[in-house]
Amino acid sequence: MTPLWITDADVERLLSVEEAVPMVEAALRQQAAGAATNMPRGHTIAGPGVMLAHMAAALHEEGVFGFKVYSIVDGKYQFFVLLYSVDSGDLLAVLEANRLGRRRTGAASGVSAKYMAREDSAEVGILGSGFQADAQLEAICSVRPIERVRVYSRNAENRDGFARRMAETLGIEVVAVDTPREAVESADILVTITNSRTPVFEGAWLRPGTHVCAVGGANEYVTELDDTTIRRADFIAVDSIAQARIECGELLMPASRGLLLWEQVSEFWQVVGGMKTGRRANDDITLFKSLGMAMWDVAAAKVVYDKYKNLH
């Protein structure tokens, strides 16, 4: 059979952030039940400024497996997902995966807010206003009764534009602020979605009960979080410990200094599957470190593939 070619425009049309949240949750439940497998990301260096990243997964209940691959050449990223049938081994589709990746990444933060943030969470602080930030906020607002958002990023024009755009999209108060502290200190849920190589806020600013979604960094030498945030966290979950031990500077750096034991870190599927409680008390500070899983990409690709087939 000839595989389908599915573009970013098709993904934009066929998969919303709100739809992606239960999709990611279902994939995590399958992982908890032993019906899904995920392989951590690997990297192939092809020359100065040239890298190929690859990650694979299988969703047995959905009858699909596949992998995500993306190239980085002089700072330019190109993302693709290849989706296969478990039954036949046929390549079903090749999907452009820029928008798909944004939606599944935002959806994962939404699922973390559902399981780890307080049910009455009303305010989000977000540090970063780039291309990933919209989906983060949309997903969180789909699972919690958010009334206010404070956004900070270094580029005043970007953060002002983000605030106007998201206020119109979500119908809630979204305010651009002048300092990171203004976004952090009153937040019930805090999202960090930056490209910073160093901590973007002080952990002492977090108020009791905050849920932190750290999404920006995926590099062993990069951390958006300071040591105080790690020390104050009552519960820490990652999408994959195997992957975190390769490329999660937020945890690798504190662990190297003896500030954290890997035994203190849980995997997200354990929370969604009910094996562990993501929040034990209202005053707990909880942390979800998101690195991204191929399992989510394959799940999203399957949803888009099914919709695309039904329309053509």
The pLDDT tens digits for 228-246 are 999 999 999 999 999 999 9
Q: How far apart are CA 7 and CA 100, in angstroms?
A: 10
pLDDT at 1: 79
Query: Facing residues of 44 across strands?
Result: 52
Kindly tell me if the per-residue pLDDT of 49 is higher than 90: no
Active site residue 289: no
Cα distances (angstroms) measured from residue 63 to each of 20, 66, 81, 273: 19, 11, 16, 21
Higher pLDDT, 311 or 192: 192
157 class by beta-carbon count within 10 Å (0-12 exposed, 13-18 middle, 19+ buried): exposed
- The residue from 68, 114, 289, 302 that is catalytic is 68
Residue pair 193/130 in contact (Cβ under 8 Å)? The answer is yes
Structural domains for the chain: 4-101+294-311 (3.30.1780.10), 107-289 (3.40.50.720)
Higher pLDDT, 143 or 217: 143
Per-residue pLDDT tens over the stretch 197-231: 999 999 999 999 999 999 998 889 899 999 999 99
128 class by beta-carbon count within 10 Å (0-12 exposed, 13-18 middle, 19+ buried): buried
**Comparing C-alpha atoms, which of 142, 115, 129, 108 is closest to residue 289?**
108
CB atoms under 10 Å from CB of 300, counted, come to: 29
Q: Which residues contact 272 (CB under 8 A, 6 or more apart)?
A: 25, 28, 29, 32, 111, 115
3-class secondary-structure state, position 141: helix
- What is the model's pTM? 0.95
